[in-house]
Amino acid sequence: MQTKVKVREQKILLVDDLDYNRQLLRNNLTMLFSREKLKYKTFSYFQAHNASSALLTFSQQLPDMVFLDIELPDGSGLELLKRFKELKPHCFVVMVSGVSTLENVKSSIDSGAASFIVKPFTGDKILSVLKQFDRYYDKLPKIIEEPLIQKP
């Protein structure tokens, strides 16, 4: 008989000022989770349309994965990335931007971004990030994950 360990749903935070972009991303994440062979595929979603609401939601929910647009109406995603990594150093943050300047890419890496997507979104870009998340999450020290296991 198999023993099932109930692990709590992981959380994704989508940060983009454009509602349609968040919807598109969410649709495609759901589609890829259901269609592709991915290890981690049960997620709950949270959304934010600007930097201040993103910071609030992040500190309340401490998500496992974040898609973070760099150009936000009330601030830079790069600054937000630093705050997120302070609040939860192991959070997997994917920077999203319409412009991939060397400066943006470098400072994303320096501040601890796990990945970088240049808009427009494509299925390949999103899937590549999700596969990377699987590898990343497997490598996380187990002790960090222990408090996250939901006891029945």
Partner 1 sequence: MNILFAEDDELLAQLFQLQAESADYLVVWAENGDVAVQQALSYQFDLIFMDIQMPVLDGVSAMQMLRQLGYDRPIIAMSAEAVTAAGFDLSLKKPLQWPEVKQQLAQFKAIPSIELELPTELKLAYLAHAKQLLQQLVLLVEQQNWVDFMAIVHQLKGSAASFDIAALSQLAEQLQTEWNSIPTEQRTERATYFLEQCTACKLK
Residues of the shown chain interacting with partner 1 in the complex, contacts defined by CB under 8 A: 18, 20-21, 23-24, 27-28, 31-32, 71, 97-98, 100-102, 105-106, 108-109, 113-125, 127-129, 131-132, 135-136
In the complex with partner 1, the residue whose CB is nearer, 56 or 123, is 123
| Lookup: tokens for 77 | 């995603």
Compute the least distance from the CB of residue 6 to partner 1, in Å.
Answer: 29
- List of residues 6+ apart from 97 with CB closer than 8 A: 69, 70, 71, 77, 104, 116, 117, 118, 119
In the DSSP assignment, the letter for residue 147 is: G
Residues 92 and 117: their CA atoms lie apart, in Å, by 13
Residue in 33, 32, 112 with CA at minimum distance from that of residue 68: 112
Compute the least distance from the CB of residue 9 to partner 1, in Å.
Answer: 22
In the complex with partner 1, the residue whose CB is nearer, 62 or 118, is 118
In the complex with partner 1, the residue whose CB is nearer, 59 or 128, is 128
Q: Looking at the chain, list the stretches that DSSP marks H as alpha helix, in order from N- to C-terminal side.
A: 19-35, 51-61, 77-87, 102-110, 123-139, 142-145
Compute the least distance from the CB of residue 60 to partner 1, in Å.
Answer: 27
Compute the least distance from the CB of residue 22 to partner 1, in Å.
Answer: 11
In the complex with partner 1, the residue whose CB is nearer, 8 or 106, is 106
